[in-house]
Structure 1
Amino acid sequence: MPDGPQLPGVEAAETTDRIVLHVDADCFYASCERLREPELQESPVVVGMGYEPGETVGAVATASYEAREFGVESAQAISTALEHLPRRAALAPEADDHDPELEREETGYYRPVDMDYYESVAADVRTILHDCAETVREVSIDEAYLDVTERTAWEVADGFARHIKDRIRREVGIDVSIGVAPTMSAAKIASDFDKPDGLTVVRPGEVRDFLAPLDVELLHGVGPVTARELREMGLETAAGVAAADPDPLVERFGERGRELYDRARGEDDRRVEPKGDPKSFSRESAFADPVSDPEPKYEQIETLAAAVADRAQREGALYRTVGVKAVLPPFDVNTRARSLPGPVDDPELVDRIARELFAEFDTKPVRKLGVRVANLEFATADQTSLDGWECAIASAEREQPAVDDGDDGNDGDDGGQADETPPSPSKSTRKTGPETTAETTNTRHETGSQDETRPSDSGESSADASVPGGQTLLSDFL
């Protein structure tokens, strides 16, 4: 039976019906801002980019559901969005013109996009998703598909999905909506069906009936333009598309017309597959309460370091960077990373470097910690350890004259360090090498800080799909 969380008493059943989950964070950017500022809960929140007070430029990236009730939409000009939101005068309670009635009015809040912070929260969510499913397809920073066929059974699929929702709420602090269905397209639609904080299960044999009454615009892959064209053809609902002659659909939309026809009928044979090779592997663990004693923290570091190194070995990956994360109360995210001279596979080295990087936090209260290996390389060549690289470096230094040719050897993968990239090492067995000569890159992301210095790989995580989904794309405004 596969490793990983599984409901007690449940064994994966042999079935031809896949169990697919679509996990979608609700108003992700706004949820992250509320995680950082709990006082924003229940208030309209607009997250945008390119806006300065007094200017008319800038656009909404996402808005909380409370803000949407006032007519705020993604891609809307921020100046327009703020006009829609209720405003409250900033009056001190002791002021002569203080109006208690005015103080009770809702107030809208604007926050600028902070992608580094959002990515750190997304990485925490991804860790849980990869722990709960054998196969994860990360679509964007805030949504992913999971195939959990080997982890649960249809009879208790709703309980398994709720387990994931509860873990994300408890360990990360945000809400997600989940759709469960035997196909990817139906799971995607189901996750949108009962937002926010929704859970909709569409069991095998129920897909076509579930889709039938839905407006064509709600079909997966149908936008406003396609929906208008479908209506021009007299097709208003999924049931209408499913009952239509597919030939006119193909004539109008090409092969996509056949796809629309199939999906309206609940037919979708796509499998959940990861999007390319991951850029890093990470594991994190949260304490029930902040811990100051070093011993339990280093015990967790050892466990997490072994887990990420084992994952890298199983996936056939070498790594050039080792990093740690320490989250201090209330949500002060700190990361540290060290770049190695070259790609290695060395579990003991991961543990040693992780301990060294974590040393500055060993007596501080920590609510969550993590270990990460990054700058991955997937190859069929013999695995190497740091010993091989150091031997190669020493050999190269003996053989090469001391001539400065102006090339610092920085290939952009080492976080901006000026370490020379050594020539390919000779074959070596996997074992812990002597003291590493790699330099350390300290990466600090503290709550509310905008002057963070990060290595070039720090935005990558175990899925590393960093294009926002369910939000307005940043590239649309750059």
Structure 2
Amino acid sequence: MDAFYASIEQRDDPGRYAGQPIAVGGGPPRGVVMTASYEARPYGIHSAQPSAEAARRCPDLIFVPPRMDVYKAESRAIRPILRRYTDLIEPVSLDEAYLDVTTPKHGPASGTLIAEAIREAIRTKRGLTASAGVAANKFVAKVASDWDKPDGCTVVRPDEMLDFIAGLPTEAFRGVGPVTAEALQAMGIHTGADLQQVAERDLVRRFGKRGRWFAAMARGEDARPVRPNRERKSVGAEQTFSTIIADPDQMLHRLEPIAERVAQRLGRAGRKGRTVTLKMKTCHHEVLTRQTTLQRPVASAEVLMQWAERLLSEPHPPEEPLRLLGLTVSSLIAEDAAGRQLELAFS
């Protein structure tokens, strides 16, 4: 889906929001952008951005409080459109899914025609736009789905796949974050074409098992099936900082947008979890983790931050400056699962 939350708000209240730069999320000074409309994106507004920064970049930006119940209901309403063509659907979030249409239930055996039919049905029945990527595997289809947003459909035929991959920046490859991209660039690898020229053994020597995966992606090899009943085991987010941070208060400040991102992802997945893990990487690249398991599952950014603060300070604050912080929630259960509320006394 294209800017899913923001597009729903523009559809539901066109008089206030249609054609306007809007950001769904908490407003300044401490809020975080969840989704920005396409009118806001030319200003550099994007998800997980502090709202104060977004407001500086776009003074006319309109902040809209999220309505998660509405977004979840819209996601449920779109599912029958997908199921018209296949039961092999793997949801990734409220607004994204993989579909295996090798043997469709309805219509021609053409991924391109099915993608266009789905997009047209979403437009006419739900008043929203979606973008699609059509390819022979998950990796290429995912990248292609982002290629022509909004309201686009990118088809990568099997005989075009290697050329398509060659033109990608390394940041587009699954599993390549800022730190890995920096390491690849240090090896002279900036694009898929560069990656295609590197021996797999060299990538494995530098990145371990991930190096084997990078080499396979460069060759267009991704055998992961579409898993309709895939169970998500954890939800997390992390950030690598451009400069190391040593002040515990600054660490807490940097954890706030990370907690917001985790809470958003939990909401999109319809999950909450009982285990919270804090990840820290020191200036010497040592990775430290602290973990706690709760009686009552966590889903909100506020409660997640309470436990993040406790994990950061107990048994003591980090002794070395940090270059990365991350939070993960695991031991997941359905968001609407019944449970007994417990009183937790925070000191």
The TM-score normalised by the length of structure 1 is: 0.47
Corresponding position of 1:248: 202
Corresponding position of 1:85: 58
Corresponding position of 1:466: 270
**In structure 2, what is the Cα distance between the partners aligned to 1:34 and 1:125?**
18
Gaps of 5+ in 2: 233-267, 272-298, 305-347
1:475/1:256 CA distance change after superposition, 3 Å: farther
Corresponding position of 1:5: none
Corresponding position of 1:61: 34
The 5 A counterparts of 1:66-465 are: 66-87=39-60, 108-151=61-104, 156-276=110-230, 465=269
CA offset at residue 466 of structure 1?
3.0
Size of the alignment, in residue pairs? Answer: 240
Percent of aligned pairs with the same amino acid: 43
1:475/1:253 CA distance change after superposition, 3 Å: farther
**In structure 2, what is the Cα distance between the partners aligned to 1:153 and 1:170?**
21
The TM-score normalised by the length of structure 2 is: 0.64
CA offset at residue 84 of structure 1?
2.3
1:83/1:277 CA distance change after superposition, 3 Å: closer
Corresponding position of 2:22: 45
**In structure 2, what is the Cα distance between the partners aligned to 1:247 and 1:476?**
42
Q: 2:2 aligns with which of 15, 26, 46?
A: 26
Per-residue deviation, residues 390-421 of structure 1 (Å, max 9, x unmatched): xxxxxxxxxxxxxxxxxxxxxxxxxxxxxxxx
CA offset at residue 205 of structure 1?
2.2
CA offset at residue 277 of structure 1?
7.5
1:235/1:476 CA distance change after superposition, 3 Å: farther
1:259/1:277 CA distance change after superposition, 3 Å: closer
Structure 2 residue identity aligned to 1:27: A
Higher relative contact order, structure no. (Cα contacts within 8 Å, ≥ 6 residues apart) = 1
**In structure 2, what is the Cα distance between the partners aligned to 1:132 and 1:222?**
32
Gaps of 5+ in 1: 1-24, 88-107, 279-463, 468-473
Structure with bigger helix share is 2
Determine helix, strand or coil for the equivalent of 1:145: strand
CA offset at residue 185 of structure 1?
0.5
Verify the 8 A CA contact 1:212 1:238 in the aligned structure 2.
yes
Verify the 8 A CA contact 1:188 1:220 in the aligned structure 2.
no
**In structure 1, what is the Cα distance between the partners aligned to 2:84 and 2:270?**
20
**In structure 2, what is the Cα distance between the partners aligned to 1:277 and 1:236?**
34
Verify the 8 A CA contact 2:30 2:51 in the aligned structure 1.
yes
**In structure 2, what is the Cα distance between the partners aligned to 1:248 and 1:186?**
23
Structure 2 residue identity aligned to 1:42: G
Specify the structure having the higher radius of gyration (Cα): 1
Verify the 8 A CA contact 1:59 1:78 in the aligned structure 2.
yes
Determine helix, strand or coil for the equivalent of 2:89: strand
CA offset at residue 257 of structure 1?
0.9
1:248/1:475 CA distance change after superposition, 3 Å: farther
**In structure 1, what is the Cα distance between the partners aligned to 2:135 and 2:217?**
13
CA offset at residue 139 of structure 1?
0.6
Structure 1 residue identity aligned to 2:99: L
